[in-house]
Chains A and B, each alone.
Chain A
Amino acid sequence: MWLYDALRSGFNLEVDAWSIQLFRLCVATACLFKFVVDLAQGGFVRLSRDSFTRHQLIGGRWRRQARLLIALHRPVHVLRLVAAVTLLAGIHPNASALVAALGLVHELIYEYRRHAVYLAAVLILCLPAGRLADGVLPRHHMTTENTWSQFLVVVLTIQMYWSSAWHKARSHQFSSGRLLAQFVRVASLARPQQRYPEYWYPVPPDALVARVYSGKFWPVIARSVIVCETVLPIGLILPLSWRIAVFGGLLMHLCFTALLPIRLIPYTLATVGSFVLFNVSNSHGA
């Protein structure tokens, strides 16, 4: 297994720079999508006077730094958008990744969302990569300069899936299917009240919803998610099962994205993009 070989060799194992460069494109696209949507949905004035988010920030654990955070809000929004564009274009990729990550950290202070934690974390873990970009498009080039970064992103992604499965398996609310049923119900009731549309698909008919609720649909879906999240990292790390695991992982993330389409698209882009980092033998032969 290349993860063990990389660690044992002190990260002197050669990997194809193409992998992390493709991942960089996915993460940069995810950031760009997130930042543009955020601006389109009033992100620029989110901390303006009398907003509820500002009220929470001033009354929360960061109240001492609140004035500074509010003053930095708009410049940070502009800078992180520029950083996402330059990261996508491969211009000063490490500096761009750092600025985009800092922009996400700033957002996490007033709106803590785990998909943003993952985005910020993988951007920070990409910083040690020596060949994060060779121009806009990824290029094949065997090097040891990216091995450590690739290792760290893969380790974090494995831990994220297993930790998520662990918490879901221990939660009766999730494993019984109740949480998913409740979420879909509340989200469909919330739709007409949301200021910015989140869903691209219509509200399912009541007859269909009633049939689905009364059956084993949600418990089966919930347990399938736990199994998928547990098995996916193993499938991705083994070269033989990599392709099947990519297909399964993509399907699982598309289902997640249906729950909160606009919100979870960046997370899906980043996690599915990380699949390419798992299998070094795949990039050798590509």
Chain B
Amino acid sequence: MIEVLLSVSFMGFLVWAGFVAPTATLFSWPMFSHMSLMVPELHVRPDGRPSTKVNVYDYLTPGNIAGEDILDPLLAYLSTRVGPVYGVALVYDRTGAFTIRVKDSHVVV
């Protein structure tokens, strides 16, 4: 009887999580349904030294395709370790494609 009760509760939770709850909820499965991807071209300029190109894939976990959501934390991380970051990023999202600029480790739209 306890198994039946737990199963019915589990099914109720799955219906809520899968179709009603926000997409960040456990057992909500919005795989590939919403994405904001980017192609960044970033450079760091340490004080008094020439700029160096940043490869974001050196920092992301393997198999990750760079998303716009990673940009702010990555800029904060790089600015404290290697210096101010400059450059541009081509962003692809639900509205299409657009370019954002990065100046002194901050996104400038």
Interface size class of B (residues with CB under 8 A): 35 or more
Please classify the interface of chain B as helix (H, G, I), strand (E, B), loop, or mixed, using the class held by over half of its residues: mixed
1/0 per residue, CB under 8 A from B, across A23-66: the answer is 00000000000000000011000100010110110010000000
Complex interface: chain B residues within 8 A of A246 (CB) = none
Say yes or no: is B74 at the interface (Cβ < 8 Å to chain A): yes
Task: Give min CB distance, A82 to chain B, whole Å.
Answer: 22
B 1-30 binary contact with A (CB < 8 Å = 1; else 0): 101100110110011011100010011111
User: Do B18 and A10 have beta carbons less than 8 Å apart?
Assistant: no
A108 nearest CB neighbor, chain B only: B26
CB-based contact A56/B73 at 8 Å: yes
Query: B27 to chain A: which residues have CB within 8 Å?
Result: 117, 121, 156, 159-160, 163
**Chain B residues closer than 8 Å to A148, beta-carbon distance:** 3, 7
Residues of B within 8 A of A228 (CB): none
Asked if A155 meets B11 with Cβ closer than 8 Å, knowing A52-B77, A186-B38, the reply is yes
Residues 32-85 (chain B) with a chain A CB within 8 angstroms: 32-35, 37-39, 55-63, 65-66, 73-74, 77, 81
Among residues of B, the one whose C-beta sits closest to the C-beta of A259 is B32
Task: Chain B residues near A211: list those with CB within 8 A.
Answer: none
Contact indicator B18/A162 (Cβ below 8 Å): yes
A183 and B35: CB pair below 8 A? yes
B17, B29, B37: which contacts A186 (Cβ < 8 A)? B37
B77 A55 Cβ-Cβ under 8 A? yes
- State the majority secondary structure of interface residues on A: helix
Residues of chain B lying within 8 A (CB to CB) of residue A259: 32
Question: CB within 8 A of B19: which of A50, A53, A114, A163?
Answer: A163
CA distance A46 to B29 in the complex (A): 26
Q: How distant is the Cα of A195 from the Cα of B60 in the complex, in angstroms?
A: 9
Q: How far is the CB of A104 from chain B (nearest CB, A)?
A: 13
- Give, as a whole number of angstroms, the nearest-CB distance from A272 to chain B: 16
The chain B residue with its CB closest to the CB of A176 is: B94
Report how far A53 CA is from B26 CA in the complex, Å.
Answer: 21
Give the number of residues in A that approach B within 8 Å (Cβ atoms).
Answer: 55
The answer, yes or no, to whether A5 is at the interface (CB within 8 Å) is no
Q: Is A182 within 8 A of B10, CB to CB?
A: no
A162, B96: Cα distance in complex, Å: 27
- Which of A90-98, A133-141, A167-175, A276-284 interfaces with chain B? A167-175
List residues of chain B with CB within 8 A of the CB of A160. Answer: 18, 27, 29
Q: Is the CB of A180 within 8 A of B32?
A: yes
Chain B: minimal CB distance from A9 (Å):
9
A196 to B61: give the CA distance in the assembly, Å. Answer: 10
Set B15, B18, B37, B59: member contacting A183, Cβ < 8 A: B37
The answer to whether B29 touches A50 (Cβ under 8 A) is no
Which one, B3, B19, B58, contacts A195 given CB within 8 A? B58
List 3 A-B pairs, minimum CB-CB distance, nearest first. A163-B18, A263-B63, A167-B30
Known contacts A117-B26, A183-B32, A198-B62, then 16 further A-B pairs from the complex at CB < 8 Å, ordered by chain A residue: A151-B7, A162-B19, A164-B30, A167-B33, A170-B33, A173-B93, A174-B33, A178-B94, A182-B92, A183-B37, A186-B92, A189-B39, A193-B55, A198-B63, A259-B32, A262-B62
Q: List 9 A-B contacts (CB under 8 A).
A: A7-B7, A52-B77, A160-B29, A162-B18, A163-B29, A171-B33, A173-B35, A179-B33, A190-B57
Q: Which residues in A have some Cβ–Cβ distance to B below 8 Å?
A: 7, 10-11, 41-42, 46, 50, 52-53, 55-56, 59, 111, 114-115, 117, 121, 128, 148, 151-152, 155-156, 159-160, 162-164, 166-168, 170-174, 178-180, 182-183, 185-187, 189-190, 193-196, 198, 259-260, 262-263
